[in-house]
Every structure is written in C-alpha cells, then in structure tokens.
Amino acid sequence: MSSTEPTEEQLANLRSASPDGPITMINLLKFRVAARYDHETPDDGEPVSGQAAYQRYAEVAKRKIEDNGGRIVFLAPSQQLFVGDVGTDDWDMVAIIDYPTRAAYLKGFDSDEYQQAIKHRVAGLERRLLLQCTQNMIARSL
C-alpha cells in the first residue's frame, strides 16, 4: 500500500526505540502532478504542483532539522533504477538526513509548526518511503 504518512504503529515503534545515538533518515519521494489539498486550499489559494506543495513543507522541515542539530546530507532528483526490480522505481527525489539522536528528530516532528506544515507534504506527495537507519560509526570515520 502506498502512503505518505506513518501508521500509528510505526510512529509508536519509533517513539519506543532508544532516543540516544545518531540516526539517518532516507527518503524516497514521488510527487503528485498537481497538489491535492483536502478540505482546504493552499495558503495563497492558487493551484500548485505536487513538488511546489512539498517545497512549502520542506521549508519548515529544513528549519526544524537544523534547529535540532540535524543536517541534510544528500538531496537530488532520482535518475533511474540501476539494479533491482522493486515495482515502484519511479521516485522523483532522494533525501538523506542525519540527526544527532532519535529524540532530536522527534522534537522537530512534534513541534506545532512542523505538524501544521504536514498538510503540504500530504498534498504534494503521491507516495513516500522513509527508512530510519542507525548510523554506522565505522563507516562515518572512513
């Protein structure tokens, strides 16, 4: 099933894991052609592309990432699937974000400003895959 948001179970599992230690979030993003806002219009009332709606969310998310000690490590359009056959290989964008701790990620996620911006992410994305990884300290030192 395609989704853009975590289930209650997924969110509970993330919250119950150790808050300590650095984590990396790997995002695969597929934008809608046109943003789809439920029960409201974009902030300026004009129709926008899915990518433009997502950018409204990303401006807030970037501030929250940086405010909580995180950093965007990689952000680029996806060009092609080179190896594998995963069925949904048409992702538009890849983003990799490091956080000093899981608690730092959740602090930004739980902020009112971030929660209010989620409507733009939901409107702009057709689907999203988000992988939370524990950072390998050996690999970081290479």
- What is the average pLDDT across 9-33? 91
Domain boundaries, the chain: 8-141
What is the per-residue pLDDT for 138? 55
Q: Residue 50: which of 129, 123, 118 has the closest Cα?
A: 123
Q: Residue 50: which of 92, 7, 80, 2 has the closest Cα?
A: 92
Contact 48, 42 (CB under 8 A): yes
What is the per-residue pLDDT for 21? 87
How many C-beta neighbours within 10 Å does residue 133 have? 12
Q: Euclidean distance between the first and final Cα of the chain, in Å?
A: 37
Query: How many Cα atoms occupy the beta-carbon half-sphere of 112 within 13 Å?
Result: 0
What CA–CA distance (Å, rounded) separates 114 from 72?
A: 16
What is the per-residue pLDDT for 120? 95
Q: What 3-state class would DSSP assign to 40?
A: coil
Q: Is the pLDDT of residue 68 over 60?
A: yes
- What is the average pLDDT across 47-69? 95
- Residue pLDDT, tens place only, 96-142: 999 999 999 999 999 999 999 999 999 999 999 999 998 765 555 55
At the top level of CATH, the class of 8-141 is alpha beta
What is the per-residue pLDDT for 39? 63
- Residue pLDDT, tens place only, 25-55: 999 999 999 999 986 655 566 789 999 999 9
- What is the average pLDDT across 64-83? 90
Q: Across-strand partners of 23?
A: 99, 134
Overall pTM > 0.95: no
What is the per-residue pLDDT for 90? 83
Query: How many Cα atoms occupy the beta-carbon half-sphere of 131 within 13 Å?
Result: 8
